[in-house]
A and B are shown apart, each in its own frame.
Chain A
Amino acid sequence: MSTAKRAIRVTINGSDVTATVEPRRLLVDFIREDAALTGTHVGCEHGVCGACTVFLDGQTVRSCLVFAVQADARRVDTIEGLAGDGDLSPLQHSFWEHHGLQCGFCTPGMLMTATELLASNPSPTGAEIRHAISGNLCRCTGYQNIVASISAAAAAPGIADAGSGSGTDR
Chain B
Amino acid sequence: MPYTGKSVKRLEDPELLRGAATFVGDIRRPGMLHAAVVRSPHAHARILSIDTAEARQQPTVVTVLTAADVKGVGVIPMRLAPREDLIRALQHPIASDRVRYVGEPVAVVVAGSRYEAEDAAELVLADYDPLDVVVDPRVAMQAGAPVLHDSVPDNIAGRLLVRSGDVDRAIAEADLVIEEEFAIQRHSGVPLETRGLVAELDRSTGVLTVWGPTKVTHFNREVLARLLDMPESRIRMVEPSVGGGFGIRGEFYPEDFLIPFLARQLGRPVCWIEDRSEHLLAANHSREQRHLVQLAVRHDGTILGLKDTVVTNMGGYIRTHGATVPTMTAAYLPGPYRIPNYYCEALSVLTNKTPAGTYRGPGRFEASFVRERLLDIVARRLDLDPAEVRRRNFVQPQDMPYRTGTAEFFDHPVTYDSGDYPGQFERALSRFDYASSRAWCEEARSQGRSVGIGIGCFVEKSGLGPWEYARVEVDPAGEIVVYSGAAALGQGLETALAQIVADGIGAPMDRIRVVHGDTAVVPFGVGSFASRATVLAGNAALAAAQRVRDKMLAIAAHELEVAAADLVVQDGRVSVRGDEEASLTFGEVARLAAPGTALARGFEPGLAETGYFEAEDMVYPYGVHLALVEVDRDTGMVEILRYHVAYDAGRLINPKLVEGQILGGLAQGVGGTLLEELAYDEAGQLISGSFMDYLLPTAVEVPHVDVELTEEAPSPRNPLKIKGAGEGGTVGVSAALASAVADALGLSSELRELPLTPERIFQLSRLAHAAQQTVVSGDD
Q: CA A48 – CA B192 in complex, angstroms? A: 11
| B468-501 near A? 1/0 per residue, CB < 8 Å | 0000000000000000000001111000000000
Give A64-114 interface residues, CB cut-off 8 Å to B: 78-80, 82-83, 88, 92, 95-97, 99, 101-108, 111
The answer, yes or no, to whether B242 is at the interface (CB within 8 Å) is: yes
Give A111-138 interface residues, CB cut-off 8 Å to B: 111, 126, 129-131, 133-138
Instruction: Name B17's closest neighbour in chain A (CB-CB).
Output: A92
Give B193-252 interface residues, CB cut-off 8 Å to A: 193-194, 241-244, 246
Q: Given A103-B489, A104-B243, are A96 and B705 neighbors across the interface (CB < 8 Å)? A: no
Instruction: Name A143's closest neighbour in chain B (CB-CB).
Output: B699
| B70-106 near A? 1/0 per residue, CB < 8 Å | 0000000000000000000000000000000000000
Chain A residues with CB under 8 Å of B190's CB are 139
Contact of A97 among B9, B26, B243, B705 (CB under 8 A): B9
Can you identify 15 A-B contacts, CB atoms within 8 angstroms? A43-B192, A46-B277, A49-B691, A78-B19, A79-B18, A99-B7, A103-B242, A104-B12, A107-B16, A107-B19, A131-B699, A134-B698, A139-B192, A139-B664, A145-B663
Chain B residues with CB under 8 Å of A130's CB are 699-700
Size of the A side of the interface (Cβ < 8 Å), in residues, is 59
Chain B residues with CB under 8 Å of A107's CB are 16-17, 19
Chain A residues with CB under 8 Å of B12's CB are 104
Give B1-54 interface residues, CB cut-off 8 Å to A: 7, 9-10, 12-14, 16-23, 25-26, 28
Whole-angstrom distance between the Cβ of A46 and the nearest chain B Cβ: 6
A142 lies within 8 A of B19 (CB): no
Whole-angstrom distance between the Cβ of B278 and the nearest chain A Cβ: 10
Give B645-677 interface residues, CB cut-off 8 Å to A: 656-657, 659-660, 663-668
B660 lies within 8 A of A99 (CB): yes
Q: Given A38-B26, A99-B657, A108-B19, are A134 and B115 neighbors across the interface (CB < 8 Å)? A: no
Q: CA A126 – CA B703 in complex, angstroms? A: 11
B18 lies within 8 A of A24 (CB): no
Chain B residues with CB under 8 Å of A135's CB are 698
Instruction: Name A146's closest neighbour in chain B (CB-CB).
Output: B699
Whole-angstrom distance between the Cβ of B571 and the nearest chain A Cβ: 24
The 8 A-B residue pairs whose C-beta atoms are closest, nearest first, are A39-B19, A103-B490, A104-B16, A105-B243, A142-B663, A142-B667, A79-B19, A48-B691
Instruction: Name A25's closest neighbour in chain B (CB-CB).
Output: B115
The answer, yes or no, to whether B513 is at the interface (CB within 8 Å) is: no
| B160-190 near A? 1/0 per residue, CB < 8 Å | 0000000000000000000000000000011
A169 lies within 8 A of B704 (CB): yes
Interchain Cβ contacts within 8 Å, total number: 179
Give B316-343 interface residues, CB cut-off 8 Å to A: none
Q: CA A104 – CA B23 in complex, angstroms? A: 10
B interface residues (Cβ-Cβ under 8 A, vs A): 7, 9-10, 12-14, 16-23, 25-26, 28, 115, 189-194, 241-244, 246, 273, 275-277, 489-492, 656-657, 659-660, 663-668, 690-692, 696, 698-700, 702, 704-705, 729
Instruction: Name A96's closest neighbour in chain B (CB-CB).
Output: B13
A interface residues (Cβ-Cβ under 8 A, vs B): 22, 24-25, 32, 36-46, 48-49, 51, 78-80, 82-83, 88, 92, 95-97, 99, 101-108, 111, 126, 129-131, 133-147, 169-170
A139 lies within 8 A of B17 (CB): no
Chain B residues with CB under 8 Å of A147's CB are 699, 704
* Residue of A45, A78, A82, A104 with most chain B CB atoms under a 10 A cut-off: A104
Contact of B664 among A78, A102, A105, A137 (CB under 8 A): A102
Chain A residues with CB under 8 Å of B660's CB are 99, 102, 140-142, 145
Whole-angstrom distance between the Cβ of B195 and the nearest chain A Cβ: 12
Q: Given A46-B276, A103-B489, A144-B704, are A137 and B698 neighbors across the interface (CB < 8 Å)? A: yes
* Residue of B12, B18, B19, B690 with most chain A CB atoms under a 10 A cut-off: B19
Q: CA A139 – CA B672 in complex, angstroms? A: 12
Chain A residues with CB under 8 Å of B189's CB are 139
A103 lies within 8 A of B663 (CB): no
A48 lies within 8 A of B692 (CB): yes
Chain B residues with CB under 8 Å of A103's CB are 16, 191-193, 241-244, 489-490
